[in-house]
Amino acid sequence: MNSFAADWLRRRAPFDAAARSADLGRRFAAALTGAPSAPRRIVDLAAGSGANFMALAPLVGGAQDWLLIDGDPSLLAAQPAEIAHWARGAGWRCRSDDDGVVVDTESARWRARARRLDLARSVEQVDFRDCHGVTTSAFLDLVSGAWLDRLCGLVARGSRPLLAILTVDGRREWCPALPEDARIHDAFTRHQARDKGFGPALGGRAASHLAQDLAARGYEVSTARSDWRIGAEHGDMLRQMVEETAVAANEAEPAASALIAQWSERRRAQIGSGALALEVGHLDLLALPPGRQ
């Protein structure tokens, strides 16, 4: 796995786990219909190294068959080791075979199969009618409105429930505040809207766009805040967030480089003295099709 991607996914994992809405996860699980003895089939888009599978499989319970789709071969290759480490930590058996990774709990068997797919160009190749539900995590703020409309059409055509986790909603609250925060946040937000391969990114508007589209198709939509809370004790994560913010703001507004450098220096000093905290706004969204409400 790409070392930067590996480090970032592992660093963000505890913040993701603390932020996820367990209530929406349980409601998603309850909406997965099918024969009682058959595995629940779930498609996870932009699956990375398998975080959604690991978080949601215990909530879904029973036999499961997950299809973990991503365009990055290094992340797909990392899934077996990441899932095995998680499963063994929980006291479950885990093995790999030609068809993916199998986790045997005391009461059920969960299979996770990887598929490489360029979602920007080829999301239509996913057969959503062959699954019971669709999930995605920390992804939809990277896509365009046009691409998200395509996805909604495909999900609604199959009348499948959708659980979208940890979508950035545009809020960043630094504590303590600094006078430069507003200008830097504006530049950072403009950078977020750049094309990430899916067209101009929705950024903080993604969850509302998704909610409006699926509601117009008859879905019942529920949201829950799933904010990261990065305290003074998480110095490494705070340093990464300051650096990420400064780089993006500089790229969006080079004329403000001196102001951004001053802001970064002050923030790093606050990290060093244990005086900085950050809240990053996210939303979890559950969309249930007609008849599952």
Span 261-270, pLDDT tens digits? 999 999 999 9
Distance between CA atoms of residues 17 and 163, nearest Å: 15
Assess whether pLDDT exceeds 60 at residue 36: yes
Give the pLDDT of residue 205. 96
Average pLDDT over residues 239-247: 97
Average pLDDT over residues 197-222: 97
Assess whether pLDDT exceeds 60 at residue 3: no
Give the pLDDT of residue 100. 93
Span 251-262, pLDDT tens digits? 999 999 999 999
Say what the pTM is.
Answer: 0.94
> Which residue segments constitute the domains of the chain, with CATH numbers given?
3-170+196-229+282-288 (3.40.50.150)
Give the pLDDT of residue 5. 67
Assess whether pLDDT exceeds 60 at residue 2: no
Distance between CA atoms of residues 184 and 263, nearest Å: 9
Average pLDDT over residues 278-292: 93
Give the pLDDT of residue 293. 55
Assess whether pLDDT exceeds 70 at residue 132: yes
Give the pLDDT of residue 68. 98
Average pLDDT over residues 161-172: 96
Distance between CA atoms of residues 237 and 230, nearest Å: 7
Average pLDDT, the chain: 94
